[in-house]
């Protein structure tokens, strides 16, 4: 039954995706992040809904007048350069067959990061994008939070199979990335039921993150809290966080403490040592092939025999930074870091442009939550292979759209001043 409901809904939305392409852009974000079809067991499970929605949306873009100008920005330029560079590294990949399969997937993500930038150039549509991102992850975080409370936190929560968030650690980082959206969208929401829903989702998300048993997500949670409190001087939130932590202390099972304690005793932890093996492998590949790296899927057992510190052990990349370094060399890593740094810089530039602009106070809230989301990705992703995470690319797209919207509203605010400065013709 679930299969047919999802298929009926998505197929029913295709005409809207074609005639209103911005709806198609939001549908793509929802499907690519949440993977609702992966929650079924029948014909919908392996159906290429994302590709179907993407093709329909792009066809609609070609005939629609409801689109903006090319979103010229540093971030778009860097995404295009990354796509070109990653294509070049794929042509010389050490695992060519597998590399082209991954190239196909990543290229679609980059393409569908740029396309929505033509379609969502408005404050309301930007908010819809952020709410779509929240809803796509909140389904799992709310369910996971409630499940953790009921079971006393003795079990981990996982995402849909064959998705970026299948692993409990990846799901926890995704939850951490949208947690600031829940709080700040709630602060600027006028509808009471939506506001309450966002705040309740935020509470369940914190619980779900804690009981994910993800050490990287826990470090990310503390990093986000530290950045938020110190940058905004909202010490009340720090007190509330400490009270919540103190109340929850007595309810957390011993196995959770045993898991977190391995952060300080990493030499005795197999998972931590596996990460060191993977990072050493990436450094060895990049040292041997500094320009191009090993290409997509270089983290394979065949290549660990050649480059691995222990040739008989093979692991995943376990880090967004070492994943890009191993697969695309120092040039690829430089482009990846440039995109991340440029996005932080753009947020700072927007904040400066709206300073002492009461009409754009809403944009300040957006800057805060987008920065915190990037911090969550930068810290949590340091321990996970999520370099090509579609949720991260959607956050980058949201920053670009925020710049476009703020620039337009600032121009409209200056328009009366410009008109008043125009010399008026003399009256005879």
Structural domain contains residue 420:
no
Contact yes or no for 294/310 (Cβ under 8 A) = no
Structural domain contains residue 291:
yes
217 pLDDT higher than 70: yes
pLDDT in tens, 57-70: 999 988 888 888 88
List of residues 6+ apart from 370 with CB closer than 8 A: 180, 347, 395, 398, 399, 402
237 pLDDT higher than 90: no
d(CA 187, CA 267): 43
- In the three-class reduction of DSSP (H, G, I as helix; E, B as strand; rest coil), residue 368 is classed as helix
Structural domain contains residue 422:
no
pLDDT in tens, 8-29: 999 999 999 999 999 999 999 9
pLDDT in tens, 199-212: 999 989 988 888 88
pTM for the model stands at 0.89
Q: For 180-189, what is the mean pLDDT?
A: 90
pLDDT in tens, 292-307: 999 999 998 888 888 9
Contact yes or no for 139/342 (Cβ under 8 A) = no
Structural domain contains residue 427:
no
Mark whether 207 and 297 lie in a shared domain. yes
pLDDT in tens, 416-426: 655 555 565 55
For residue 417, what pLDDT is reported? 55
Mark whether 153 and 248 lie in a shared domain. yes
Q: For 356-384, what is the mean pLDDT?
A: 91
Mark whether 211 and 284 lie in a shared domain. yes
Mark whether 211 and 120 lie in a shared domain. yes
For residue 225, what pLDDT is reported? 79
3 pLDDT higher than 90: no
pLDDT in tens, 100-143: 999 999 999 999 999 889 999 999 999 999 999 999 999 999 99
HSE (side-chain half, CA atoms, 13 Å) at 188: 20
Cα distances (angstroms) measured from residue 23 to each of 53, 68, 122, 393? 10, 15, 13, 18
Nearest to 315 by CA among 259, 272, 377, 264: 272
Question: pLDDT over 70 for what percent of the chain?
Answer: 86
Mark whether 394 and 382 lie in a shared domain. yes
Number of domains in the chain: 2
For residue 287, what pLDDT is reported? 94
Structural domain contains residue 417:
no
For residue 56, what pLDDT is reported? 94
Mark whether 9 and 118 lie in a shared domain. no
For residue 55, what pLDDT is reported? 92
Mark whether 48 and 172 lie in a shared domain. no
Give residue 152's region: left, alpha or beta (phi > 0; psi -120 to 50): left
1 pLDDT higher than 80: no
HSE (side-chain half, CA atoms, 13 Å) at 75: 26
Among the residue ranges 34-38, 150-154, 359-363, 387-391, the one predicted with the least confidence is 150-154
List of residues 6+ apart from 156 with CB closer than 8 A: 168, 211, 212, 213
d(CA 197, CA 177): 18
For residue 285, what pLDDT is reported? 94
Q: Residue 31 belongs to what domain range?
A: 1-67
230 pLDDT higher than 90: no
Average pLDDT in the chain:
86
pLDDT in tens, 304-345: 888 988 776 767 888 999 999 999 999 999 999 999 999 999
Q: Is 265 exposed, middle or buried (0-12, 13-18, 19+ CB in 10 A)?
A: exposed
Contact yes or no for 210/175 (Cβ under 8 A) = no
Contact yes or no for 293/286 (Cβ under 8 A) = yes
Mark whether 211 and 199 lie in a shared domain. yes
Structural domain contains residue 426:
no
268 pLDDT higher than 50: no
Mark whether 187 and 169 lie in a shared domain. yes
DSSP letters, 384-402, are: S--TT-HHHHHHHHHHHHH
Structural domain contains residue 44:
yes
For residue 240, what pLDDT is reported? 60
Structural domain contains residue 181:
yes
For residue 428, what pLDDT is reported? 45
Question: pLDDT over 90 for what percent of the chain?
Answer: 52
For residue 277, what pLDDT is reported? 86
Mark whether 54 and 187 lie in a shared domain. no
266 pLDDT higher than 60: no
Domain end marker among 21, 46, 67: 67
Q: Which helix (H) or strand (E) holds 284?
A: helix 270-288
Q: For 354-359, what is the mean pLDDT?
A: 87
Mark whether 399 and 267 lie in a shared domain. yes
Cα distances (angstroms) measured from residue 312 to each of 120, 272, 296, 306? 49, 17, 21, 10
What torsion, rounded to 10 degrees, do the Cα atoms 257, 263, 265, 268 define?
90
Mark whether 150 and 274 lie in a shared domain. yes
Cα distances (angstroms) measured from residue 43 to each of 4, 9, 146? 8, 14, 29
């Amino acid at each position: 039954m679930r299969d047919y409901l999802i298929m009926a809904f998505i197929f029913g939305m295709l005409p809207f995706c074609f005639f209103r392409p911005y709806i198609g852009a939001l549908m793509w974000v929802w499907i690519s992040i949440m993977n609702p079809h992966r929650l079924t067991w029948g014909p919908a499970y392996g159906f290429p809904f994302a590709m179907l929605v993407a093709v329909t949306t792009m066809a609609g873009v070609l005939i629609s007048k409801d689109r903006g100008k090319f979103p010229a920005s540093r971030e778009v330029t860097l995404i295009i350069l990354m796509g070109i560079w990653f294509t070049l590294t794929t042509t010389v990949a050490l695992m060519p067959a597998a590399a082209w399969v991954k190239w196909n997937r990543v290229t679609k993500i980059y393409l569908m990061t740029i396309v929505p930038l033509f379609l969502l150039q408005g404050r309301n549509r930007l908010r819809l994008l952020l709410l779509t991102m929240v809803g796509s992850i909140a389904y799992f975080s709310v369910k996971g939070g409630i499940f953790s409370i009921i079971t006393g936190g003795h079990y981990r929560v996982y995402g849909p199979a064959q998705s970026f968030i299948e692993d409990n650690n990846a799901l926890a980082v995704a939850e951490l990335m949208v947690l600031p959206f829940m709080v700040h969208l709630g602060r600027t929401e006028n509808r009471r039921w939506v506001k309450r829903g966002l705040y309740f989702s935020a509470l369940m998300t914190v619980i779900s993150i804690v009981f994910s048993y993800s050490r990287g997500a826990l470090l990310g949670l503390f990093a986000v809290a530290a950045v938020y409190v110190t940058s905004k001087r909202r010490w009340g939130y720090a007190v509330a966080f400490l009270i919540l932590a103190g109340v929850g202390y007595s309810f957390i099972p011993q196995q959770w403490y045993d898991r977190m304690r391995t952060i300080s005793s990493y030499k005795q932890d197999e998972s931590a040592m596996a990460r060191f093996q993977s990072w050493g492998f990436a450094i060895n590949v990049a040292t041997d092939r500094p320009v191009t790296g090993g290409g997509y899927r270089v983290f394979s057992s065949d290549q660990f025999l050649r480059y691995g510190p222990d040739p008989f052990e093979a692991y995943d990349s376990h880090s967004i930074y070492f994943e890009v370094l191993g697969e695309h060399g120092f040039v690829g890593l430089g482009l990846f870091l440039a995109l991340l740094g440029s996005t932080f810089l753009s947020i700072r530039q927007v904040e400066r442009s709206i300073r002492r602009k009461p009409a754009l106070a809403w944009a300040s809230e957006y800057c805060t939550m987008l920065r915190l989301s990037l911090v969550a990705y930068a810290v949590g992703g340091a321990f996970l292979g999520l370099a090509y995470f579609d949720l991260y690319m959607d956050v980058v797209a949201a920053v670009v759209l925020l710049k476009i919207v703020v620039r337009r509203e600032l121009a409209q605010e200056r328009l009366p001043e410009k008109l008043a400065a125009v010399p008026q013709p003399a009256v005879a």
